[in-house]
Amino acid sequence: MTRVKETIERHDKGYNCAQSVACTYADLVGLDEATMFKATEGLGKGMGGTLATCGALSGACVLAGMKRSTGNLETPDSKLETYKLAEEIVNKFQEQCHSLVCRELKGLDTGKVLTPCPDCIMNAARIAEEVLDLKA
């Protein structure tokens, strides 16, 4: 069952775009929602309010790390696999939303909105569900 609709419910409650995506699936990647909320708070509004990398996309990439990382602190051994998942998420997001940059997605410089925030959130969630095989 998909949780995409829940991402928008969280966003409507005031979660930032990264939190909206990552918190919706926190339980499926072994993290409680409050911890995920705190961990992704700085990724909103284009990462730290810079209007750079889309927060929804950042949240999906956080999920990739939580899903794939072995957490092996002595011998980090899962980075390459995590990077592959994150790269797939990024590429699919780029295809669907036409940019990775918050400022461009919102059309702040051009006046032409490429993809509104709710659509970025839903796209990132759908992509994360597919790529990371997140099932409720």
What is d(CA 127, CA 17) in angstroms, rounded to the nearest whole number? 15
3-class state of residue 38 by DSSP = helix
The alpha carbon of residue 29 and the mean position of all alpha carbons in its chain are separated, in whole angstroms, by 13
Q: What is the pLDDT of residues 18-68, one digit of tens each?
A: 999 999 999 999 999 999 999 999 999 999 999 999 999 999 999 999 999
Q: Examine the pLDDT at 136 and tell me if it is beyond 80.
A: no
What is d(CA 131, CA 60) in angstroms, rounded to the nearest whole number? 10
- Sequence spans of domains, the chain: 4-132
Q: For residue 5, what are the CA distances in angstroms to 1, 77, 81, 89? A: 11, 34, 28, 19
The answer to whether 121 touches 7, Cβ cutoff 8 Å, is yes
Q: What is the mean pLDDT of the chain?
A: 97
Considering the entire predicted model, what is its pTM? 0.97
Which residue type is seen at 52? A
Say which residue the tokens 């899903």 belong to.
67
Q: What is the pLDDT of residues 93-105, one digit of tens each?
A: 999 999 999 999 9
What is d(CA 124, CA 130) in angstroms, rounded to the nearest whole number? 10
